[in-house]
Structure 1
């Protein structure tokens, strides 16, 4: 008997998992250095609040192309081969890493270059999210999909730990090294995606592309379980996200510099990874909805405490706790969304989910930057955590379907559900 969890016994899923891990390490190594360079360059000519505003703009620049392209990217993930889309966007991200490598190595890195690459990364994310999100359910049997989601999250969170740490360490050695590492890892990810064979899936029903795009959004609106899960993540993380403020805390509040920024950025992913590993071995089975809502409340509380903390170690502990709570919620939410969505809709539903995640992340960074410019970083972060708790309680009332969800079992699977690749494939 194999020692690996069931999803990793499937060769196609193994290749997908390695690609996800390599891509995440590369992305996170880039993101932490981009944020640091934007803030550091800005601080040479601006005060703390004005430089924090620049961090907010970086989030907005990444979000705008994703917002514009989401209807198209979701339709493409349902209409075209998801493997081809994933490969193309990984190669685009590799190009972004090479541009930043050349600019940093050549000494001409600047705010316009960083903002331009951020926009290209937004385009890549617009297409990567739906394609990769909709691909995973095609690689494993339905009954082990929650395990596969947990393992996929483990790859992402492990990369989110290793990426910032490697990015910070390599940046201290030579500023261009993080981008060199990212370029290589994106190449590894692309090679792994070429190992995935053709996917068994449900073809898209005939119709105009515009009508098919609208149908995807209409499905999300009709399915209250999916709508509630997506919008909960949108508003909770939009209000309670702290990522954009980490350079501010590292440089000016906790005063730990670039060396201390890496552990701060990795702490949420460490907590999330431990949670994801646990669920990949011991899937959650009972009262999943109530537990998801409780986890988001913990996320908000940990965010608020982090906001007012002046202790480096307490701050790391709160970041690890909010990461664990977020992963607890993500695991349940993504399982509910995937299991309540027919395969032919998964690309468009994943696009809506990606848009919500990006809105909560990139617009959350914009909200953090603008709020910090207005209120100061400490007040903005603490108030955001409290607001996330209020939103969660409100959603428990507005969407009782979430609160009442007892398990991942779907009594009447959507008739359009695709035939998944068997475990022996």
Structure 2
């Protein structure tokens, strides 16, 4: 094993630590307020349908913006896109914190916030992922991706637990902490040192917009892999109903929901 190419050397690479910190803090915040919003909307409505709407409002912006995101990421500074996205997320979390504190937050307000966050995440996640090859050399890219993926998976597990714990302490806490972490993430993304500039892109055409679809259709293995993942995500959507199970069946409260 080449120690010089291990995870430690990746974290010491200029810009990579800022990149990883930005993604982890953003993911922690998103997962944390996601669990809090799910609990709140069920607490207010006692409706499984309302819980389903949370997932729908999060998914629809991502589906609608799919063909726009790639071209935006290719033609603008990806760090600035990440910065704008995370600042919008920070403001949204802060508004949720204030609305919860003042008891203004309604189910419609929660669904509106989820829609905004879904649209922003649709831009943030692929743009940040596409930023990595411009930060580390090709020889370190595999380690960089593996390290980043491990950190993100950890954030996906810790985030909901943190959200449930904070909500159990006080309903405002998960939103206030998320706003702070989004702000820290935005500071890190603008601090990323780029080693290489993205290649210049051709003008946008109808063919270039749907080039990804043509590429996937021409490769059956990739189409099968993506389809498998699609069905896994669709069936995994049942987790949106967990607040109902935690509250009415397990009587576990927000801490139990987070865990």
Find the counterpart in structure 2 of residue 21 from structure 1. Answer: 24
State how far apart, in whole Å, the 2-side matches of 1:262 and 1:253 are: 15
State how far apart, in whole Å, the 2-side matches of 1:199 and 1:217 are: 30
Change (3 A) 1:29 1:208: closer
TM-score by length of 2: 0.91
Find the counterpart in structure 2 of residue 395 from structure 1. Answer: none
**Greater RCO structure (CA 8 Å; 6+ sep):** 2
TM-superposed deviation, 1:108: 1.1
Find the counterpart in structure 1 of residue 117 from structure 2. Answer: 121
Structure 2 spans left out of the alignment, 5+ residues: none
Find the counterpart in structure 1 of residue 77 from structure 2. Answer: 81
> What is the aligned counterpart of 1:37 among 37, 40, 55?
40
> What is the aligned counterpart of 1:251 among 238, 247, 250?
247
TM-superposed deviation, 1:204: 4.2
> What is the aligned counterpart of 1:9 among 1, 7, 12?
12
Over residues 130-152 of structure 1, what are the superposed CA-to-partner deviations in whole Å (9 max), with x where a residue is unaligned?
Answer: 20121123322334433222211
> What is the aligned counterpart of 2:89 among 86, 93, 98?
93
Q: Does the Cα contact within 8 Å between 1:168 and 1:258 map onto a contact in 2?
A: yes
State how far apart, in whole Å, the 2-side matches of 1:223 and 1:82 are: 28
TM-superposed deviation, 1:85: 0.9
State how far apart, in whole Å, the 1-side matches of 2:180 and 2:163 are: 13
Over residues 272-312 of structure 1, what are the superposed CA-to-partner deviations in whole Å (9 max), with x where a residue is unaligned?
Answer: xxxxxxxxxxxxxxxxxxxxxxxxxxxxxxxxxxxxxxxxx
State how far apart, in whole Å, the 1-side matches of 2:63 and 2:112 are: 17
Matched, 1:261 2:257: yes
Matched, 1:235 2:231: yes
Structure 2 matches for 1:331-370, cutoff 5 A? none
Q: Give the length in aligned residue pairs.
A: 256
TM-score by length of 1: 0.57
Change (3 A) 1:24 1:205: closer
Runs of 4+ in 1 over 4 A off after TM superposition: 1-4
TM-superposed deviation, 1:52: 1.2
Please say which structure displays the higher CA radius of gyration. Answer: 1
Over residues 38-80 of structure 1, what are the superposed CA-to-partner deviations in whole Å (9 max), with x where a residue is unaligned?
Answer: 111112xxxxxxx111111111112222222111111111222
State how far apart, in whole Å, the 2-side matches of 1:9 and 1:168 are: 33
Q: Does the Cα contact within 8 Å between 1:33 and 1:167 map onto a contact in 2?
A: yes
Structure 2 matches for 1:40-79, cutoff 5 A? 40-43=43-46, 51-79=47-75
TM-superposed deviation, 1:229: 2.6
Aligned partner of residue 109 in structure 1, secondary structure: coil
Aligned partner of residue 203 in structure 1, secondary structure: coil
Q: Does the Cα contact within 8 Å between 2:74 and 2:201 map onto a contact in 1?
A: no
Structure 1 spans left out of the alignment, 5+ residues: 44-50, 264-425
